């Protein structure tokens, strides 16, 4: 059986595997699937028809839109937001700490975005809708227009 905190609402059509831990004051939407060894900390909202793969960690106070896919081992930092229809490939990492280790909030990812494997999103950045970020990229600044970005730091490709 999985663990569920107080004041957490799980839609009856959500499918949650064993070895999942869900914190207090969370909301899991209709048709969402959560695989094994997932940790969802307090105050997380996950929309409808999402797929949360094995080993994902959502560290709290985060909002995940509808029809979002988080593949295995994604780490979503405290305070992050992921827009409807976005896809995060394996091992995407959100950072919510600034240069002196103060917690300043995670990234905001727009709707219908694709974030490639092993990409790191720095604290407090905002990514526009319909952005594609290539694997192994480091996003250090806001991305304000749709397009394809990659590199370290990530830059728009023409």
Query: pLDDT per residue over 65-107, tens digit each?
Result: 999 999 999 999 999 999 999 999 999 999 987 677 767 788 9
Q: What is the pLDDT of residue 19?
A: 95
Q: What is the pLDDT of residue 2?
A: 78
Residue 102's SS3 state is coil
pTM, to two decimals:
0.95
DSSP conformational letter for 133: E
- Domain count within the chain: 1
CATH number for the domain including 107?
A: 2.160.10.10
Residue 138's SS3 state is strand
The pLDDT confidence band at residue 1, using thresholds 50, 70 and 90, is low
Q: What span, in angstroms and rounded, lies between the C-alpha atoms of 123 and 120?
A: 10
List the one residue out of 65, 111, 115 whose CA is nearest residue 93: 115
Q: What span, in angstroms and rounded, lies between the C-alpha atoms of 157 and 97?
A: 28
Query: pLDDT per residue over 2-37, tens digit each?
Result: 789 999 999 999 999 989 999 999 999 999 999 999
Helix, strand, coil distribution of the chain in percent, nearest 5: 0, 35, 65
- Lowest mean pLDDT across 52-56, 98-102, 103-107, 142-146: 98-102
Tally of helices (H runs) and strands (E runs) in the chain = 0, 24
Can you give the residue range of the structural domain that contains 129? 1-158
| CB of 116 closer than 8 Å to CB of 136 | yes
Q: What is the pLDDT of residue 96?
A: 80
């Amino acid at each position: 059986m999985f663990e569920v905190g107080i004041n957490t609402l799980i839609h009856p059509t959500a499918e949650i595997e064993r070895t999942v831990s869900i914190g207090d004051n969370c909301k899991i939407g209709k048709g969402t699937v959560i695989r094994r060894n997932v940790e969802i900390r307090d105050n997380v909202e996950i929309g409808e028809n999402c797929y949360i793969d094995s080993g994902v960690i959502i560290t709290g106070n985060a909002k995940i839109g509808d029809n979002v896919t988080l593949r295995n081992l994604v780490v979503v930092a405290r305070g992050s937001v992921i827009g409807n229809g976005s896809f995060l490939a394996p091992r995407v990492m959100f950072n919510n700490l600034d240069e002196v280790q103060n917690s300043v909030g995670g990234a905001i990812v727009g709707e219908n975005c694709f974030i490639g494997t092993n990409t790191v999103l720095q604290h407090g950045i905002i990514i526009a809708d319909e952005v594609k970020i290539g694997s192994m990229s480091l996003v250090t600044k806001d991305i304000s227009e749709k397009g394809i970005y990659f590199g370290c730091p990530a830059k728009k490709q023409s």
